[in-house]
Structure 1
Amino acid sequence: MYVQEADPLEDVLTLIGTTSRLSVRLVAGGRWALSFGPPDGIKFNAVRRGRCVLTVDGVPEPIPLHEGDCFLLVQPRPFTLASAPGVRPLPAGPVFAAATGGVARTGTGEDVVLMGGRFDFGERARELLLDVLPPVIHVPGDTAEAATVRWALQQIDAELRERPLAATLVTEHLALVMLIHLLRLHLVNAGPGGTSGWLAGLADPIVAPALRALHARPAHGWTVAELAAVAAVSRSTLAARFKRVVGQGPLEYLTRWRIELAADRLRHGDQTVAAIAAQVGYGSVSALSNAFKRVTGVSPRDYRR
């Protein structure tokens, strides 16, 4: 069965309203350490010069960061950046509040330069994306796969240094490019157990074609047999594999994705509930209402209010 291509990662990032914001740079040297509170959204940092150590609350081992490395802090956890383990940290807030010319400084010298910021998301991001990622994603910069991330960082550097017209807008879009590539690299490198839910399904050769089919035509009356044909496996194989990898059956996933699409239209549009029902694959308002209430606990009309 031929099914048009769709991109579940693109669908989810669009649905949750991903935006980026760059912070001031950090320049550090000598023996230094800064402690940060739990960030909003996803915190990211890239080491542009030197090396340092990242320690995250709840993560057993410190993570060495080398020049070119990036990390995403996915969960809202306190963390520390330091020249070495064991250095007593200063609170980061006053250091960044005292920044001048877009640069915060700590320690002595300029051994280390970090660029950072955060990605902000809409209200559904935690359940749809962040909860299926590990607390920290570390991407070494010295691999061939990270070439696009290095390119994005170089372009951000150039925009911030030269400040041409619309530099802020360009850097924010480049940061989103970097996020997408970091998530791609994570999917490639995570291996079994490195991620979960629908994101794990994208890395699975049997589940991924079925996931793309569901996202390409969410309003279609899919059966497990049709999805199995798309994945070129038996019905029982797809059902078992999808459940094991994604954590729910393919038709349950379809229902929940349809409800996410309906909820997004209810939040951001003025279409009637009947029109939304037809768009996401329900033949009547009552059919959508029953599914919507089963998933969210409220009716579409109450949700919109």
Structure 2
Amino acid sequence: MDPLEDVLTLLETRSQLSASLTAGGRWAVRFDAPRGVKFNAVRRGSCLLEVDGAGAPIELAEGDCYLLTRPRAFTLRSDPDASPLPAGPLFAAAEGGTARAGRGDDVLLIGGRFSFGPRAQEWLLDRLPPVVHLPSGTRRAETVRWALTEIDRELSHPQPASSLVAEHLAVVMLVHVLRLHLARAPHAVSGWLAGLADPVVATALTALHGDPARPWTVAELARTAAVSRSALAARFKASVGQGPLEYLTRWRIELAARQLREGGTTLAAVARSVGYGSESALSVAFKRVLGTSPGEYRRRAATP
């Protein structure tokens, strides 16, 4: 697996679609802070997006989409002076999978949210800005538009398993939005995501994720990336915020933690699978990274 696929799989990425929103005339809808990562795509028309604490309103045009990566309330509106109505009652009254605001159908938005496993905050959400806006005219955005069109089609003309297909397409859309955001604004992300924007660091990250149990050295990683040890170390530290072997330790612990959450594997087997020769070696690294022992972590994960 490549690093982005690895992390999204580790975080148990899931999508849940909500009712669409059709609006016209003068209108505004106020949404409570979402759980997980909220997304919307403008399929028709245009509107303004205002996110609490995120600066000036963002103009959304037809074909635009956005992600909200923090639990902040937000407002969608036709113009700055429109008085907002709470989203809850509007969506509770939705008919045929569509909520309505204002008068007419000039604007159509589809959306939903992504949910993740317990380590998403550190590994993904904290690495992204509060709002990820992808304009429709963005270069290489064709795949996102394709995914949105297919989601719209599945929701508008339901067939057997349409909801499941649409939710999987939403995850496909998420991957492409993250890819495009990295390409457009590499300095707007941090940590391992920022490393993916540097071809040398990305090569090293891919090697580490491809064989995390291997006893990697900086010299081996440098040869893989076709640079000197000092160059790799400097570029890795500058983008990811830590050295390559420190990153490898944290990734190994994340893999071990997933196995402990899932249960059914001995601690010795977990240790071997992530490159540690003994339970004690894993325990020392585990406690240093996560602040608790593997046994205690497993007990907590097993508690309903």
Q: TM-score range by the shorter chain?
A: over 0.9
* Alpha-carbon distance, 1:22 to partner: 0.6
CA-CA distance at 1:244 after TM superposition: 1.2
Equivalent residue for 2:6? 11
Matched residue, 1:3? none
- Can you give the 5+ residue segments of structure 1 that lack an aligned partner in the other structure? 1-5
Q: 2:135 aligns with which of 134, 140, 149?
A: 140
Over the residues paired in the alignment, what is the CA RMSD in angstroms? 1.0
| In the alignment, structure 1 residue 264 sits paired with structure 2 residue 258 | yes
1:93 shift after superposition: 1.1
Matches within 5 A, 1:1-305: 6-191=1-186, 193-305=187-299
> Secondary structure of the equivalent of 2:48?
strand
Q: How many matched pairs? A: 299
Distance apart, 1:91 and its partner CA: 1.2
Q: CA deviation at 1:291?
A: 0.3
Partner of 2:136: helix, strand, or coil?
Answer: coil
Aligned to 2:302: none
Q: Following the alignment from structure 1 to structure 2, what is the Cα–Cα distance between the partners of residues 78 and 231? A: 43
What TM-score do you get using the length of structure 2 for normalisation?
0.96
Deviations 1:87-108 (A, max 9, x none): 2211111111111111111111
**Matched residues in 2 for 1:250 and 1:88: separation?**
51
How many angstroms does 1:142 deviate by? 2.7
C-alpha separation in 1, matches of 2:45 and 2:268: 58
Q: CA deviation at 1:144?
A: 4.3
State TM-score, norm by structure 1: 0.96
Distance in 2, matches of 1:165 and 1:111, equals 30
Aligned equivalents of 1:230, 1:140: Cα separation in 2: 36
C-alpha contact (below 8 Å) 2:42/2:110 kept by paired residues: yes
Q: Is the 8 A contact 2:20 2:111 kept in 1?
A: yes
SS state at 2:207 partner? helix
